[in-house]
Amino acid sequence: MANEQGSRSGSGESLESGVTDDASGNGVTDRSSVAGENEWPKAAARARLHFVSGKGGTGKTTVAAALALALAADGKKVLLVETEGRQGIAQVFDIAPLPPTDTRIATAEGGGEVSALAIDIEHALLEYLDMFYNLGFAGRAMKRIGAIDFVTTVAPGLRDVLLTGKIKERIIHTDKQGNRVYDAVVVDAPPTGRIGNFLDVTQAMADLAKTGPIRNQSEGVVRLLHSEETIIHLVTLLEAMPIQETIEAIDELRGKNLNLGSLVINRVSAPHLPAEVIDEIAEGRIDAGRVEDSLTAAGLKLTDGDLAGLLTETIEHATRLQAQQIAKAQLDEVELPTLELPSLGDGVDLGSIYELANLLQKAGA
């Protein structure tokens, strides 16, 4: 399948993964060492509705998919929702494009189930008109003349109102016996540059509509989004631009009194050097003779060219680790629970999603 953490054509989100090499250049990543100190926040453990956002290219779709699998462990049922209309979930799971209805896509550890829903705006608007105004016939007429795209484009915020309304409808959905169909809903949400407005637009609509179905629907969505049942996780990389956008999103969401969960740092390179020598090696100060003697003692004899290549890779690795340390210090200032997920040197396939899900489970998800 296409590599989502690499570059997935047509996904609208570049998720390139850096390869993590050990000192010998074998591309080996000790993934367990990256995720060992992670802990799932208590607020997230109480929530049923999880929004996953992040700057484009950080891997938020991958993280959302892994979180859905983690939450579905031990026989639970989870719905994974897509809001951007790009069929990113289908690409991650290597399946056919999703219809605008709940579709089972994966089995989790312990017999749990993950279903997926790619919300279609046209379908959601037709449902909305029929449910609240008994105007299904009007919606069908609008569809015939191509007016739905026009309405959702010119009406400020209507698209997001429909999306959040549909998400609320799925989280409270019950079966014939009155039992909740889903234990949790995970939303592959809009990117950090838009997440604040996306989650706040329904409040704006509630303020505009003083009475009637729109007012009642909007108030219900607002209560859900600001309740303990809802949590927002942000995915970032240890790079300058994603970090800056993440910090801005955190400030914005806190200002709107929305509940923040985990700060997920994705694609973290596992350290293959002692912390005390990283700065020294990153500056190019490395004892080539000592390295060669150590290799010889271990029974490894390299040519001058191979030794030079190894030293270069070691310096590059130290430089990456140094940059990660500096970036991590910035994120420490936001005082948010942090989860680190490893760099997947071979890219993301379905097995990788399950591997990340297992790490999230171990963290307490």
* Model pTM above 0.75: yes
Mean pLDDT by 10-residue block, N- to C-terminus, for the chain (365 residues)?
38 33 34 52 93 96 98 97 93 93 95 95 73 56 54 66 90 93 98 93 64 71 94 95 95 96 90 79 82 80 85 84 82 89 82 94 91
Going by C-alpha positions, the residue among 33, 36, 105, 61 that lies closest to residue 348 is 61
Tell me the two tokens of residue 326. 């500096």
Q: Torsion-angle region of residue 169: left (phi > 0), alpha (psi -120 to 50) or beta?
A: alpha
Residue 302 to residue 272: CA distance in whole angstroms: 20
Could you give the angle at the alpha carbon of 347 between the alpha carbons of 343 and 351, nearest 5°?
95
Q: Read off the pLDDT of residues 17-64 as tens digits, 9 standing for 90 and up.
A: 333 333 333 333 333 434 335 778 988 999 999 999 999 999 999 999
Residue 37, pLDDT score: 52
CATH number for region 31-270+331-360: 3.40.50.300
| CA 356 to each of CA 55, 186, 206, 353: distance values in angstroms, whole numbers, following the listed order | 19, 15, 39, 5
Can you give the pLDDT at residue 205? 65
**3-state DSSP assignment of residue 149:** helix
The model's pLDDT over 251-263, given as tens digits with 9 standing for 90+, comes to 999 999 999 999 9
110, 127 Cβ separation under 8 angstroms: no
Residue 194, both tokens:
């838009």
